[in-house]
Each structure stands twice: as C-alpha cells, then as structure tokens.
Amino acid sequence: MILVITRMKISAAKRLELSQTIASLIGSMRMEPGCRRFEFCQSVENENELYLLEEWENQQNLKTHLLSSRFRVLRGAMNLLHEPYEMKVHTLFHPSRMEVLNGLINLPGKD
C-alpha cells in the first residue's frame, strides 16, 4: 500500500477557493482504481495549513492518478498556495506481510 501526505500552506484570502476546488474533485478521485482513501483535512493549529491524505493499492494506481486530468486540475489550483506544497510518499506493509521485512532484517551475516 502507498500512503501520500501532501501539506499545503495557503493565505487566508485564498483558502476558500482552494478548499472548494479540492471538495469538487475529491469524490471522483476516491473512485479512481486503487484508491483506498482520499481525505482533505485542515490543521487544528493553523487554519491556513491544509492536508491531503491518500492511500493507494500500489504504485501503478498512484502513477495513473498523478497523470490524470483531475490531478492536473488539483496541481493548477495549487498555484494559489502561499509556498510550494510538500508531498511525502510512503510504502506500507500490512502486518501479514511482516515476514518479508523480518527476512530482510535477519539476513545471515548481519549480526
């Protein structure tokens, strides 16, 4: 599973416009193949700091999303930001797949 966290800082004057654009896209983005979650959040400490939280089945689904027309609209709306957005991408393992990670950690000769 792929987790994407995007942090955006926006001026108070542009926050409503960006929020409305994201709200108009979020339903269709959630319907994209491989999308497990797509959330739009606001920081409780700073109302001008917004987040997109996404979960994707695999890298190919995320790549397809990043090449989509909806993502192009979102990127265009990000021109409203006060500063460049920050996007972090993480690969997650389900607990049932931990044997793969354990196998990497317990490699022979890695004492």
Tally of structural domains, the chain: 1
CATH number at residue 81: 3.30.70.100
Report the percent of the chain where pLDDT is more than 70: 83
Full residue range of the structural domain in which residue 12 is found: 2-105
Query: For 55-109, how does the pLDDT look when each residue is reduced to its tens digit (9 = 90+)?
Result: 999 999 999 999 999 999 999 999 999 899 999 999 887 666 666 666 666 655 5
Three-state secondary-structure class, residue 10: strand
111 found inside a domain = no
DSSP state string for 49-73: EEEEEEEESSHHHHHHHHTSHHHHH
Q: Is residue 54 in a domain?
A: yes
Q: What is the pTM of this model?
A: 0.80
Which helix (H) or strand (E) segment is 13 a member of? helix 12-30
User: 33: closest CA among 73, 54, 64?
Assistant: 64
In a domain? residue 110: no
Query: Mind listing the pLDDT tens digit for each residue in 3-52?
Result: 999 999 999 999 999 999 999 999 999 999 999 999 999 999 999 999 99
